[in-house]
Amino acid sequence: MIFKQLSKIDIGAQAELGACHLLKNHKLKIIHQNYRCRFGEIDIIARSEHHLIFVEVRYRQDTSFGSAAETVTRKKQQRIILTARHFLGGGKYTELPCRFDVIEASSDKSGKLHFNWLTNAFQE
């Protein structure tokens, strides 16, 4: 995936789309994208054979001030956890253990996206 002249919203959407492809290539099923409730948003909710996975996708063009994963602060983690609890309140998927992952997206000078998948990036 290559982009150069896209807005930040478009870049974020492309990063999430690329993250979905990455997850699907690893045999995960995408259950929901951009799940929103009063507590916040979860970019991707996926299911593996053994886990329900809540994924935060973070794009960072310049990593000189830290990685994309470092932008998932404790406050952001708490909002994701509350949102995951809200999702689970529907009663579906409660039999699976949950995991919180972060997928970092970055682009090279040509605009090609690269991904780094951090499994179990944080815990409740």
Per-residue pLDDT tens digits for 69-89: 788 999 999 999 999 999 999
Q: Please give the mean pLDDT across all residues of the chain.
A: 89
Name the band, by pLDDT with cuts 50, 70 and 90, for residue 64. Answer: low
Nearest to 61 by CA among 51, 71, 74: 71
SS3 22: helix
On the question of pLDDT at 9 being above 70, the answer is no
3-class state of residue 30 by DSSP: strand
- Compute the distance between CA of residue 124 and CA of residue 56 in angstroms, rounded to an integer: 14
Assign 94 a pLDDT band (cuts: 50, 70, 90). confident
Helices (H), 1-124: 8-25, 74-88
Q: What is the pLDDT of residue 3?
A: 46
Architecture of the domain whose range is 8-122: 3-Layer(aba) Sandwich (3.40)
Phi, psi for residue 30 in degrees, rounded to 5 = -80, 120
**How far apart are the C-alpha atoms of 99 and 116, rounded to whole Å?**
17
Q: Domain residues of the chain, as ranges?
A: 8-122
pLDDT > 70: percent of the chain: 90
The residue written with tokens 């990036």 in the block is 121
pTM: 0.88
Q: What percent of the chain has pLDDT over 90?
A: 65
Closest residue by Cα to residue 95 from 47, 44, 57, 27: 47
pLDDT at 8: 63
Q: Tell me the residue length of the chain.
A: 124
